Amino acid sequence: MYLYLAPVFVSGVGLRNIVKPQSFARRLLSTTKPSPISRSMGKKHSTPGEEHLLLPIPPSALPVVDTHTHVATTFEYYRGRYKDGVYTNVYDFVKGMYGGRNVEALLDVWCEAPVQKLWKEFADAAIEENGKKWGGIQYWFALGT
Q: SS3 of 65, please?
A: strand
Name residue 66's beta-bridge partners: 106
Average pLDDT of span 91-116: 89
pLDDT above 90 covers a percentage of the chain that reads 37
Average pLDDT of span 102-116: 87
Q: SS3 of 57, please?
A: coil
Average pLDDT of span 95-107: 92
Which of 23-32, 42-51, 68-77, 79-88 is least confident?
A: 23-32
pLDDT above 70 covers a percentage of the chain that reads 69
Does position 93 have pLDDT exceeding 90, yes or no? yes
DSSP state at residue 142: E
Closest CA to 141 of 127, 122, 116: 122
| pLDDT on residue 11 | 35
Higher local confidence (pLDDT), 105 or 115: 105
DSSP state at residue 116: P
- Measure the CA–CA gap between 15 and 7, rounded to whole angstroms: 11
Higher local confidence (pLDDT), 38 or 92: 92
> How many CB atoms lie under 10 A from the CB of residue 128?
11
Q: SS3 of 9, please?
A: coil
| pLDDT on residue 133 | 93
- Measure the CA–CA gap between 58 and 91, rounded to whole angstroms: 21
| pLDDT on residue 40 | 53
Average pLDDT of span 95-108: 92
Give Cα 76 to chain centroid, integer Å. 8
DSSP state at residue 12: T
